[in-house]
Structure 1
């Protein structure tokens, strides 16, 4: 059973009271000598602190997830893919060593921000999103934030091996995630994970992790994912054998592309709570000052209650 992380909303109240009739009620010692302007400033600061608290509470789950430039995250993604590629059964003779690709990661992040449990339809047109690959592959994992890790997600994909028959190339159930992981010709990977309050197409999930990996070149064509045989026996020329995989320094180097990915699909902001805060804060602060000034002008004996 999945566990879900709940975000609690916080409400802040500032109590204002008019003193009873009769002698003037003395101000609290902390407020003696306060002018209407200084009192307005105090209340305004209190409102601001409250809003910051709410935004911090709402956005904190996203801060627990790594970004696409996080070195630990990158190493985990590459390590888990190469681990399973090197351990395939039957053994592979032509399995390429896989390395990180920043453009694939940016594409994955851009699509993940939409929080949709659906594949990106823009990956197939030749060179549409990547300068080097005619088509791209994609794996999706969506689940509870508390259950997510790169290791668990990639392992879930690989475990689909139980549904795949290598001889017949057929699946009893979903196994496309597994075949993409072990697709021999795919040698670049880029992944991203996004915090999603809700995921379209996964209606029962709340506050989940949406993990996507893109692959270049893409796999899952109607043929075997790799050639069966002695490890590295069918590697391309000039390759060397590294952990049962075909490695090549030129092919495996990480290229820092300077081009920027401009997707055709709408992209939500990285943190919609933070964006909302930035939009509404200025008018709320101005309105707070105006209201408090008017109240103080009409009720000069108004005091702040703890």
Structure 2
């Protein structure tokens, strides 16, 4: 079984828990998720199965969309409702006040990873250290907030829709918005509604997946690797290049009609089949991630004579 499942992760379950659960349901070990979603959050969690685990990193790079509730006046150690309250402050934050600081939080930002996160320090996850009372200062990371919309709310409590790059901590964003308004704030609700084109309205719960396995209808929920990579540019190669592409042999672009841009990942097809993900390196097309299952040996040390 090879493909991607769009899973609706429930709150109070880690992303790794979802993977473990699916390994049991599907009876398959080669399964991986496409980026950690906070245990307290719910929403879209694409799960790669079989050879599709090779494309997890590419899906992970895509934009995310969240619905988040920000509550002003309370600070917690985890920056969400699952943490311990650290302090409270008297405030009267209006929608207009929130709107005035939104420009500060769109575009390129630098965020410090929160202590309660899966970021690692010397092989240990930060949340594991935080539970022991150890605090580590990690350098800020660059993220990009494409858009923030206020969907509604009253004084001190607002529902936001946020579209952002990978690696964005919504909890930290909300806490920082509190500081910008000279108050404290935490994320009281978080739902991920999209990851790289996978939408929450199309997601399946774990009980639904288990029922589909029992009924033999799981294939209807499985996205093919071609579908999952539809966000990449497609490159369709001539059939004569098939033996070179499928053995990993770099293709001399000067001897083909192919036109590639540098620093762009392509979903490479040949003979109607997805071969892998390729990239222009110098004047060669190189398959950097082979997705087609093959029995032949790799010819990475040669360059194809495509005359």
- Smaller-chain TM-score bracket: under 0.3
Greater fraction strand: 2
Per the normalisation by structure 1, the TM-score is 0.22
Between 1 and 2, higher relative CO (CA 8 Å, sep ≥ 6) is seen in: 1
- CA radius of gyration, larger in: 1
Tell me the TM-score normalised to structure 2 length. Answer: 0.22
